[in-house]
Amino acid sequence: MSQQESEITMVLVTRKDLKLSSGKLAAQAGHAAVNCALTARKLKPKLLEEWRNTGSRKIVCQVSNLEGMKRLYGEARELGLISEMIRDAGRTEIPAGTITLLGLGPGPRRLIDELTRSLPLLK
Amino acid sequence: MGLRSWIHSLTGPKRYSDSYYNSLNHVKLVLLVNNQLKMGKGKIAAQVGHASVKAAMLASEKHPAEMQAWLSSGQQKVVLKVQSLVELETIIELAKKSNLPTSIIRDAGKTQIAPNSLTVVGIGPALSEKIDELTKEFKLL
């Protein structure tokens, strides 16, 4: 296994069909990252440690819509990956309860890449 | 108080007073983004993600009461922009003086920006009023 494949990573998936400001998107990403990390601490503490000790790799990419996000969530669950969908409280910008973001990992990059390979990066 | 509770009161985890817990109603995490760096939306999101995780892990260890209050009140996060590195460094100093937890994120600089750039500073989770004293002049991103 190459070094890249054994890496631990987190991927934050945003929705292309939602128009969020940079600040809003960033706050939601923070939320997803924290929830994923807390879940990891409970279920896979060693993995969390390894991820944090290797620079907490994190990338942000986009899926076209909610349906695509839910599909990805299901697939991730089936693979036993940590996956957390974030629902916004909706105090600003968008209606309450809107699903804004999906966090995957920390988990093996090999597995997560398989799911997210086709998704464009959000730069 | 029985003997066991008395021993527990000395050796058990420290309890905060009820009034301190009540004052923790408004706990938030503020994330200050270095707007001098021209980072894209995704880059900012990732950096804010880093800072949020760092702040949460630090708080779980060192400030469990604040962490608990923050989580149970919906993890409020406010993202603000700061126009220069100098301002950002000043805020870090002030936050440290006020004993507010800071989470400083420097980027490895593999994409978009120079290595080791200071990208985001998280302040908190801590009492809103205390953080506001330092950050109220900054605008929402």
Comparing CB atoms, the residue among A41, A89, A123 nearest residue B74 is A89
Instruction: Report the top-level CATH class of B19-140.
Output: alpha beta
| Domain residue ranges of chain B, discontinuous segments joined by + | 19-140
Per-residue pLDDT of A97-121, as tens digits, reads 899 999 999 999 999 999 999 999 9
- Could you give phi then psi for residue B78, rounded to 5 degrees? -125, 125
Residue B121 touches partner A, C-beta closer than 8 Å: no
Each domain of chain A, given as residue ranges in start order, spans: 3-116
Q: What are the strands, taking DSSP E only, across A5-98?
A: 8-15, 58-63, 83-87
> A9-53, pLDDT tens digit by residue?
999 999 999 999 999 999 999 999 999 999 999 999 999 999 999
Chain A contact for B68 (CB, 8 A cutoff): no
Q: Which of residues 82-111 of B touch A (CB under 8 A)?
A: 108
Best to test chain A binding among B28, B41, B43, B106 (most A CBs inside 10 Å) = B41
- Between chains, do A55 and B108 touch, taking CB under 8 Å as contact? yes
Please give the CATH architecture assigned to the domain spanning A3-116: 3-Layer(aba) Sandwich (3.40)
Q: What are the CA-CA distances from residue A95 to residues A20, A89, A102, B89 (Å)?
A: 12, 8, 18, 36
- pLDDT for res B16: 60
Condensed to tens digits (0 to 9), the pLDDT of residues B15-65 reads 566 666 666 679 999 999 999 998 999 999 999 999 999 999 999 999 999
Number of CB pairs, chain A paired with chain B, less than 8 A apart: 95
Q: State the Cα–Cα distance between residues A10 and A84, nearest whole angstrom.
A: 11
* Contact criterion met (CB < 8 Å) for B45 and A52: no
State the pLDDT confidence band at B13, using cuts at 50, 70 and 90: low
Mutation test of the interface with chain B: which of A22, A24, A31, A123, choosing the one with the most B Cβ atoms within 10 A? A22
Length of chain B: 141
Q: Which residue has the tokens 């693979």?
A: A79
For residues B95-115, average pLDDT: 88
Question: What are the two backbone dihedrals, phi and then psi, of residue A83, each rounded to the nearest 5 degrees?
Answer: -145, 130
Complex-level ipTM = 0.93
